[in-house]
Chain A
Amino acid sequence: MNISKIVHRVTNLKRAEKLALFVLWLALPVILSSWDYGLHIAISVSLWAVLALGINLVNGQAGQLILGGAAWFAIGAYASALLMLFQNWSFWATLPVSLLLGALFGFLVGLPSLRVGGDYLGIVTLGFGEIARLVLINWTSLTRGPMGLPGIPAPSVFGTEVSSKAAFFYLLAALLVGTWVLMNRLTVSKFGLQLISLREDERVAQAIGVDIGRAKVTSFVISAAVIALAGAFYGSYISFISPDAFVFNDSMLMLAMVILGGMGSPGGSVLGAVILIVAPEALRFLGDWRLVLYGTLLTGMMVYRPSGLWGLERRPRNEIKLTVKR
C-alpha cells in the first residue's frame, strides 16, 4: 500500500469512522491517564492544530505568505498573561482582549499585503515577527524581557481552578472544535471563495467583482485573532512565557504544517499538525535533527507534492477542481 493510497483512505473516512475517531480523541485523557507526557503531546496537537488552521486561512486559502505567525501568538499570550498577573483579571476576561489585540495586529500586518505580494510579503511579515520579538526582549519594564513571565495562573471554571492536564485537554479540544467549525464554514462561504479567487489570480478576481483588498485584510484579521486567542490558552497552560517561545522556528512550523497538509485545506492543516507534533515526539532521538525534518519537508513538498497530503484536489463540497502548478 503506497502513501497516496493511505492518504486517500485517511481523507475519505466514512461517517461512522469519523465519529469513532472523534470519540477516541475525546477519550484520550482516560486512555492516557497514566502517561502524563502523552497527554501533553495530545494538548500540543490541539494547540498547534488551532495555529495551523489560523495561518491556513491566510497562507493557504488567500495565498498570502506569512512568516511571522509567531508574533500574533506572542501578542495573545503576553496580553493575557500580563492582565492576569498584574491586573488580576480572570482568564476568561482576558480572552476578548487577546482576540482584539490579535485582530488589530492582523489588520496592521494585512495592510502591506495591499502593496506587495508573494515572497516579498513573506519577508515583510518575517520582519514584523522579528520586530515583535525584539520589542518583547527590550521592553523590559512591561515584559520583563528575556526573563519572561513565570506563574501565569490557570483558568477557573465555577470557582475551581482548572489545573489538571485532562481539564486543559478539554479546554483546548473545545478551542479546536470551535476553530475547526469556523474555518470549515469560512472555507466554503462566499468569503472563502473570494479568497481562493484572489489567490489564483488577483486581476481576474477583481474583474469578477471581488473587493480583493478588503478580502485580504479580513483574512489577516481573522487568522491573527484565532492565533492570538490560542496564545492566551498556551500561556495559561504552560504557565511560563518568554520571548524564546515565539521565534522564527515557530512561524516556520505553522507554515510547514499547512504545506504538509495541503494549502487551503482545514483537514490538511489538522493532519499536518498531528504529524509534525507526534512524529518528532516519536522520533525524539532525532533531537535537533527535527529542524532538518521540517526544512527537508518544506523543500521536498514543494518539489514533489506542492498540493500537500490533503491538497486542494480533494475539496469535498464545492467541487472546485484546480490545477496545481508544479
Chain B
Amino acid sequence: MNVLIQQFINGLTVGAVYALVALGFTLVYGVLRIVNFAHGGVYMMGAFIGFTAGKYLGVNLFISILFAMAGAAILGVIIERVAIAPLREADPYSAFLSSLGVGTVLPVLAQKMWGVSTQPYPAHIEFTTFHFGDITINSMQIVIISAAVVLVLGLQLFVHKTAMGMAMRSSSYSVTLSKLMGINVDAVIRATFAISSALAGAGGVLVAAYYDAIFPTMGFVVSLKAFTAAVVGGIGSIPGTILGGLLIGLLEALSAGFISSSFQDAIAFIILVLMLLFKPTGLMGRDVLQKM
C-alpha cells in the first residue's frame, strides 16, 4: 500500500511536467494543426538557459525558471519564423518534417555549447525531505507540482480572460473565419509558439532540478512522452492534455513500481500506439484525425 502511495506521488510529479510539455504540443496543434517536433529541443534549451543563469548569475531555481521561460519563448518564436512560417500553405506533413529538422539540430548545438556530459543542476535552494511513515516526499516534488499548477492556471486565465487568448481560441476553431473577423492570425501563431515554448522551458528546468541532471539529449524521450500525453488526453484540448500528462506519469511510475523498471520507457510508447490505433481522438479530444 505504501509503495502504491509513494509511486502515486512520484507519478504525479513526473506527470505534472509531462502535462506542461504536452500543453505546448496541444496549443500549437490547436491553431496550426501541425505536430511541432522541435518542442523537445526547446524544452532542453530552456533547461540549459536556466542552467546557465543558475551557474553564472547565481540565481536560485525560481528565478532561473523565469530566465528559461523567456529564453525558450524567444527561441520558439525564432523557430516558428524560420521553419514553420514559410510552410503555412504546405501540408502539415512538410511542417512536421521541417520542425523535426530543427529538433535534430538543437541537441547538437547544446552539446557544442554546454558539453556532452550530464551535469548537476545549480538550483541554489535547500531541499528537505518529509517522511510520513515509509513514504517520503521531497520538497522538490512539491515545488514541481505547485509550479505546474500555477502555470496551468496562468494559461487558463490567459486563454479565457485576455483578447489574445480569445483570438487564440478563435483561431483554433477556424483560421479562415478568424482572419475574416480581423484577427491577426500570424501574431496569434507567434504568441502560441512563445507560450508553448515558455511552458516547455519551465518543464525543462523543473526536470533538470528534480533529477539534478541536465544533458543535451534530455528532450527526445520526454517530448515523445509528452506527445503521448497530448494524444491520450485529446490533442487540442487543454484539460484533456493535462489529464493525459498526469495519466502517463502515473502509469509509468506504477509500472516501474509493480512490473519492471526496465520496460518503463516502453509503456508510454505502447500506450501511444494503442491509443492512436483505437481512439485517435483521445479521451477528451474533439477533432477527428485524418482517417481512412
Contact = CB atoms under 8 A, between A and B. Distances in A.
Interface of A: 63, 65, 67, 111-112, 114-120, 122-124, 126-128, 130-131, 134-135, 137-138, 202, 212-213, 248-249, 252, 255, 259, 288-289, 291-292, 294-300, 302-303, 306, 325-326
A120 B292 contact: no
B276 A134 contact: no
Nearest to B260: A138
A112 B105 CA distance: 29
A306 B91 CA distance: 11
Nearest to B111: A288
Contacts of A131: 266, 269-270, 273
Contacts of A137: 262
Nearest to B91: A325
Nearest to B102: A299
B277 interface: yes
B104 A295 contact: yes
Given A212-B292, A303-B98, A115 B277 contact: yes
B89 A326 contact: yes
A102 B89 CA distance: 37
Nearest to B41: A295
Name the prevailing secondary structure of the B interface residues: helix
Given A288-B111, A299-B101, A119 B276 contact: no
Given A118-B93, A120-B289, A295 B265 contact: no
30 contacts: A65-B96, A67-B100, A115-B280, A117-B291, A120-B35, A124-B272, A124-B273, A124-B277, A126-B224, A127-B224, A127-B269, A127-B273, A130-B265, A130-B266, A134-B265, A138-B262, A252-B100, A255-B97, A288-B112, A291-B105, A295-B108, A296-B105, A298-B100, A299-B83, A299-B99, A300-B101, A302-B83, A302-B97, A302-B101, A325-B91
B104 A291 contact: yes
B94 interface: yes
B101 A288 contact: no
B133 interface: no
Given A299-B101, A303-B86, A117 B273 contact: no
B290 A120 contact: yes
A301 to B, nearest CB: 8
Contacts of B111: 288
**Which 6 A-B pairs have CB atoms at the shortest separation, nearest pair first?**
A298-B101, A295-B104, A299-B101, A295-B105, A119-B96, A302-B98
Contact of A120 (B95, B97, B220, B280): B280
B103 interface: yes
Contacts of A303: 83, 86-87, 98
B227 interface: yes
Contacts of B269: 127-128, 130-131, 134
Contacts of A118: 91-93, 96, 290
A289 B89 contact: no
Interface of B: 34-35, 82-83, 86-87, 89-105, 107-109, 111-112, 220, 224, 227-228, 262-263, 265-266, 269-270, 272-273, 276-277, 280, 289-292
A112 B273 contact: yes
A91 to B, nearest CB: 31
Contacts of A124: 272-273, 276-277
Contacts of B276: 112, 115-116, 120, 123-124
Name the prevailing secondary structure of the A interface residues: helix
A128 B263 CA distance: 14
Contacts of A306: 90, 94
A146 B263 CA distance: 14
Contacts of B103: 295
A212 to B, nearest CB: 7
Contacts of A135: 266
Given A120-B289, A120-B290, 18 more contacts: A118-B91, A118-B290, A123-B35, A123-B224, A127-B270, A130-B224, A130-B265, A131-B270, A134-B269, A212-B292, A252-B100, A255-B97, A288-B112, A295-B104, A299-B98, A300-B101, A302-B83, A325-B89
Given A288-B112, A299-B83, A115 B101 contact: no
B272 A127 contact: yes
Nearest to A119: B96
Contacts of A259: 97
A210 to B, nearest CB: 12
A232 B254 CA distance: 38
Contacts of B108: 288-289, 291-292, 295
Given A128-B273, A202-B292, A116 B280 contact: yes
Contacts of A202: 292
B220 A325 contact: no
A117 to B, nearest CB: 4
Contacts of A130: 224, 265-266, 269
Nearest to A145: B262
A212 B292 CA distance: 9
A111 B273 CA distance: 11
